[in-house]
Every structure is written in C-alpha cells, then in structure tokens.
C-alpha cells in the first residue's frame, strides 16, 4: 500500500473512532493532561495508594488503566456498552500512536459474532434415582445447571458412569475410559488431572473443553462435574453459586449455531463437594474415597446404578462484540509475517444479584495488560521491524478465549502470524525486580525473552503457581492450538525491597479481589513494574521482528507436537 493511501485510511479510521468517542465523551473526560515536555502527569485527586512515578511510560500506563477501569466502563462485559466505550478508547490510542487500522473493512474493529445464554432457575433439576428412591439435589445449594447453547429447554434421564478425570492420554499410558461404555449415558467426572501428570499434560488435559470433547466423542448425552476439595479451594462453591446465572457465551457459526457447543451433550451441571455423596449414593465407593484415590493416582471409572435426570431452561440470544486490531507494517520482504501482541479488553461487567458496588472494574484483569500493550505499541511505532507488528485488544476472554479464537481463524487473511506475545492480569501489587514468562519452556521464544531481559537487567522467573495451569487459560492458548509459538508475560515474584512480597500479594489478590469489585484502580499498582514489562515486551517483539528465522517449538515439546505441523506453523 502506498504511503498516501495508508495515510488516508488511517485518517478515515481516526474519524470513525472519534465519532464513537464523542458518544461516550461525558464518561471519558480526562483525569490527566499532558505536561509541557509531552509526558502525562497523573492527577493528584485520583486517590491512588501508589506514589507517582517519574517515568513517563509508567504515567501513560496509569492514565490508560484509569480510563479502562473507570466506573463509566461498567466492567467491560463482552458485547456491552461499556466494552464498546473501552474499545473506542483503545482504537483512539492506536491511531494516536500512528498505527494502521487492521480490522474489518479498513477500520480498527473486528466483529465477533456470539451466542449469549443465561441458565434459568425455573425447571432446573438434578435427580438421582437409585436403590428404590429418588434424591433431588437442591438448586444453588447443591448443584448448578450450565447454560445450554443448543436448546431452550432440556431434559435427559439416563444411566450414569463415573469416568474419573475424563482423560485419555495414550502417550503416557493413561485412559479413564478404559472398559467403560458412555454411549447414551451421563458421565460423572472430576475436574483437573492426576497429580502425577507433568505440567504439560496436566495443563492440556485439565481444560474443560478437552474433557467435554472427549465425552461427546464417546457418545455421552450429559455430564455432571463434581467438585473436589482441591478445586473448591481454588474456586469456592459460594463464588460459583453467586455467578451461575451470569451470561455464558460461545462463538456463533454461519448457520447461527454455537461453535464448540457439543450438541451430543444435552445437559451439563456442576455439583458442590458437600453434595458429592448424593451423586454416588448407594454406589460402589463414597466420594471421599474417590477423592483419596484421585490424590493417590489410583482412580478408576465404574458404572453407577440407577439413573440421573438433568433438566433445565436457557435463554439464548444472538449478539456481537469486537476485537480492536492495529498494525505497524514491517519494513522489508518479511512484512507479510506478523508478531501478534494480545491482551484481553473484556471483564465480567456488573453481575446481577449483588448488593452494594456491582461494578467489576477489572483494573488488573485486564485493564493493566491492555495499558502495557498500548505502551508497547507506542515504543515500537518509533522503531519499525522487518516483520509486521499486530496489536489486538481481544474480547470474550472471560467467556473462553472467544475473541482470540475468532481472530486466529482469520489471522492469515492479513499475514502469517509467527509468534504471539500475550499479557493478561499482571498482578503488580508489590514491587519486584523480575518478570515471569509463562510457557517459555515450550519454544525458542523462551530463549529470546531471557536474552532481552538480560540486556535490560531483568531476571526471568518461572511460573509461581504451575498448578493453576495458566498456560491453557489465557488468549495465547488459542494461538498455541493453531500451532503458533506463544509466550505469556506476567508480573514478577522477587521482592524489590525485601518487605512487600509479590507472591503473597498475588495470593491475596486471587483469594480476595479476582473477579470482584475490589479489583479497581485504588489498589497499590506498581506502575514502574508495568513500564518495565512494556520495555521487555517491546524488546522481545523487536528481536522476533528482526530475526531471520521464525520462532520454533522445542524438539519433542508436547504442545508443538500436538498442534504444529513439522514443528512449526
């Protein structure tokens, strides 16, 4: 594209973004103004517990975070008015930095078609008929129905079979389905994976998408996911109960149906650990014994006597949201290849049924990640690389990486993605001296991030909580599944002052403020650490963008062998 035509497209896209911003101007009024030297000074009346930084990059990140996590954005739920306002703000920042629009029809936005489903209390049942009696589990207290994207009402009654963790892993000799017939039956399963699994197998096989796909492929007509003490320690039943009627979403295909809707599974429900014995009542083994066997790695499946009944209703409707996509063109014959930067813009909105502050601002999750990506874009705009740099503020991550999946299936239309750098929920609440690079063991991106971090005087640490299987829980995993090497940059874990502990701060946040209203801009966010993460991201992208060779999966890597052709995309 010629320079005049590129400039014209950018001008038209900027006007379009300005029109969208005009609609939300009253909600987006500045809380900070540029200083004489062009840096941004953060207003003193923002009531932030963090001392102001002298670093202009940290100041810009702080301003972006406050905009995106402001109450006016209403928690940025996928497809909501607040998300649209946030998307318009991000597009305006891309345009101001000099990036080209790379979305649909020459604009910054890429439309993502969705189905929205809300499970209803009316008609919801989970009943166990066994030994001449019927046990009705109590809605909310003991079981929660999942949204059904294939039918407004459902009712299925069938024999049941316990399938352990519902994992088939022949490469390591593990098969929870051995000797079991699931055709026409309801599968009862536990979350997670055996403790004996290595990190890679545990990450892959813990994903619910893989479990449900395995059940559907074997002919199961329903599924009941029984919580364990370990799973409820991470996600308490009270929190699940409080959010069970929040809208769930799936990508919508050309025929109007759900992508990955698993129509064979006519009903899915969750059961709390306190009610687990009701599901296994009068069977071979009580729930506690099964939990012990799961810890010991001796869990085996078996048929359950009697039948299970699952019934419920779901309100289903069509909707759409949008990714925000911008490009820095490459400088030579490698410009058709892309380094893709991602951070999800959506959060969980304003869930119904809560008293007091309902706005889930999502400051750390993930306004901070988007703000860091914006600063990375500003840095790279001054130093173009041989490969193009693509920046995507994604929608639908909280709903199952939906915006990332949609983008990846269409990424080749504008170029070939060769690497993904993802930033999601960096919990920067205590000053650190390092960064964490999740997934660095899987590809040559790990070597690249260590090299650039050393140049910048930053240490690279391992994932502090590998049991959380983070590698399959953020947008980069959509790229991994497409065979594209990816890395997830996160906040550090080594204390900078010997007093405030980043690991403890992370644990506190996950326990108290993750997906809660207290994840707002009043937290003691370490903006200098955020600026450092942006510098690492920009340096990594520059290295990838200028290298002769594309990033490669490591020889024998689990994800590379499973998803990539000949070890590369």
The CATH number of residue 371's host domain is: 3.40.630.10
Record the tokens describing residue 267, joined without a space: 């009903």
> Which CATH number do you get for residue 222?
3.50.30.30
Do the bridges between strand 388-394 and strand 337-344 make them parallel or antiparallel, or are there none, so unpaired? parallel
The mean pLDDT value for 183-211 works out to 93
Least confident of 383-392, 450-459, 559-568: 559-568
- Using CA atoms, how far apart are residues 354 and 341, in angstroms rounded to an integer? 35
Percentage of residues in the chain having pLDDT higher than 70: 90
Q: What pLDDT does 51 receive?
A: 54
| pLDDT tens profile 230-283 | 999 988 999 899 889 999 999 999 999 999 989 999 999 999 999 999 999 987
Record the tokens describing residue 67, joined without a space: 């905009």
- Number of independent structural domains in the chain: 2
Find out whether 464 and 426 touch, Cβ atoms under 8 Å.
Answer: no
- Using CA atoms, how far apart are residues 498 and 369, in angstroms rounded to an integer? 25
H-run or E-run covering 236: none
Instruction: Judge if 341 and 471 occupy the same domain.
Output: yes
Q: Which residue has the higher pLDDT, 199 or 66?
A: 66
Instruction: Judge if 180 and 304 occupy the same domain.
Output: yes
> Is the pLDDT confidence value at 90 over 60?
yes
Residue 46 is assigned to a structural domain of this protein: no
CA distances from 99 to 1, 165, 328, 393 (A): 14, 46, 6, 14
3-class DSSP assignment, residue 303: strand
The mean pLDDT value for 349-368 works out to 89
> Is the pLDDT confidence value at 451 over 50?
yes
Domain range enclosing 92:
3-29+53-98+329-563
| pLDDT tens profile 115-167 | 999 999 999 999 999 989 999 999 999 999 999 999 999 999 999 999 999 99
pTM of this structure: 0.89
Instruction: Judge if 390 and 291 occupy the same domain.
Output: no
> Is the pLDDT confidence value at 370 over 80?
yes
Instruction: Judge if 70 and 218 occupy the same domain.
Output: no
- Using CA atoms, how far apart are residues 36 and 351, in angstroms rounded to an integer? 42
> Is the pLDDT confidence value at 565 over 60?
yes
Instruction: Judge if 505 and 474 occupy the same domain.
Output: yes
H-run or E-run covering 199: helix 199-206
CA distances from 30 to 27, 33, 40, 67, 496 (A): 9, 7, 11, 8, 32
- Using CA atoms, how far apart are residues 181 and 303, in angstroms rounded to an integer? 9
Q: What pLDDT does 17 receive?
A: 47
The mean pLDDT value for 352-366 works out to 88
Residue 299 has, within 13 A of its CA and on its CB side, a CA count of 30
Instruction: Judge if 291 and 376 occupy the same domain.
Output: no
Q: What is the DSSP letter of 145?
A: E
Residue 104 is assigned to a structural domain of this protein: no
pLDDT interval class at 564 (50, 70, 90): confident
- Using CA atoms, how far apart are residues 69 and 67, in angstroms rounded to an integer? 6
The mean pLDDT value for 324-334 works out to 96
Alpha helices in 260-361 (DSSP H): 276-279, 287-296
H-run or E-run covering 489: strand 486-491
């Amino acid at each position: 594209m010629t320079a005049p035509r590129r400039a014209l497209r950018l001008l038209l896209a900027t006007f379009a973004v300005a029109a969208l911003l005009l609609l939300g101007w009253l909600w987006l009024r500045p809380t900070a103004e540029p200083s004489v030297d062009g840096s941004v000074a953060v207003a003193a009346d923002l009531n932030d517990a963090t001392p102001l930084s002298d670093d202009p990059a940290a100041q810009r990140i702080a301003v972006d975070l406050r905009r995106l996590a402001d109450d006016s954005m209403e928690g940025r739920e996928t497809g909501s008015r607040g998300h649209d306002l946030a998307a318009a703000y991000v597009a305006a920042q891309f345009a101001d930095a000099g990036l080209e629009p790379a979305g649909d029809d020459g604009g910054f936005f890429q439309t993502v078609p969705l189905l929205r489903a809300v499970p209803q209390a009316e008609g919801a049942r989970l009943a166990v008929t066994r030994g001449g009696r019927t046990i009705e589990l109590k809605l909310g207290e003991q079981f929660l129905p999942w949204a059904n994207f294939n039918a407004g009402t459902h009712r299925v009654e069938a024999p049941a079979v316990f399938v352990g963790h519902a994992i088939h892993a022949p490469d390591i000799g593990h098969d929870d389905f051995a000797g079991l017939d699931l055709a026409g039956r309801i599968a009862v399963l536990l979350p997670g994976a055996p403790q004996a699994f290595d990190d890679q197998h545990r990450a892959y096989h813990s994903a619910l998408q893989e479990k449900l796909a395995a059940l559907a492929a074997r002919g199961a007509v329903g599924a009941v996911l029984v919580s364990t003490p370990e799973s409820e320690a991470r996600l308490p039943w009270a929190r699940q109960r409080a959010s069970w009627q929040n809208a769930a979403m799936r990508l919508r295909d050309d025929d109007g149906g759900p992508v990955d809707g698993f129509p064979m599974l006519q009903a899915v429900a969750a059961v709390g650990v306190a009610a687990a014995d009701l599901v296994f009542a009068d069977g071979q083994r009580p729930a506690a014994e099964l939990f012990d066997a799961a810890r010991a790695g001796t869990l085996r499946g078996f048929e359950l006597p009697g039948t299970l009944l699952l019934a419920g209703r779901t309100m289903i409707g069509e909707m759409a949201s949008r990714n925000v996509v911008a490009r820095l063109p490459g400088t030579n014959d490698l410009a058709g290849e892309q380094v893709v930067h991602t951070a999800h813009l959506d959060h969980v909105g304003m869930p119904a049924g809560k008293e007091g502050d309902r706005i889930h601002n999502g400051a750390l999750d993930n306004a901070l990640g988007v703000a860091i990506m914006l600063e990375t874009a500003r840095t790279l705009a001054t130093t173009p690389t041989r490969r193009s740099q693509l920046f995507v503020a994604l929608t639908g991550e909280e709903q199952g990486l939906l915006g990332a999946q949609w983008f990846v299936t269409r990424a080749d239309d504008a170029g070939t993605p060769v690497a993904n750098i993802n930033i999601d929920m960096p919990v920067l609440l205590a000053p650190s001296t390092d960064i964490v690079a999740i997934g660095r063991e899987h590809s040559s991106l790990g070597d690249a991030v260590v090299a650039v971090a050393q140049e910048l005087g930053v240490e690279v640490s391992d994932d502090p909580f590998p049991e959380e299987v983070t590698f399959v829980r953020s947008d980069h995993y959509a790229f991994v599944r497409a065979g594209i090497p990816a890395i997830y940059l996160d906040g550090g874990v080594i204390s900078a002052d010997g007093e405030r502990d980043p690991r403890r701060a992370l644990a506190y946040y996950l326990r108290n403020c993750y997906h809660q209203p207290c994840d707002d801009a009043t937290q003691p966010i370490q903006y200098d650490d955020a600026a450092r993460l942006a510098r690492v991201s920009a340096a990594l992208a520059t290295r990838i963008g200028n290298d002769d060779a594309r990033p490669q999966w490591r020889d024998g890597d689990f994800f590379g062998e499973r998803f990539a052709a000949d070890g590369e995309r």
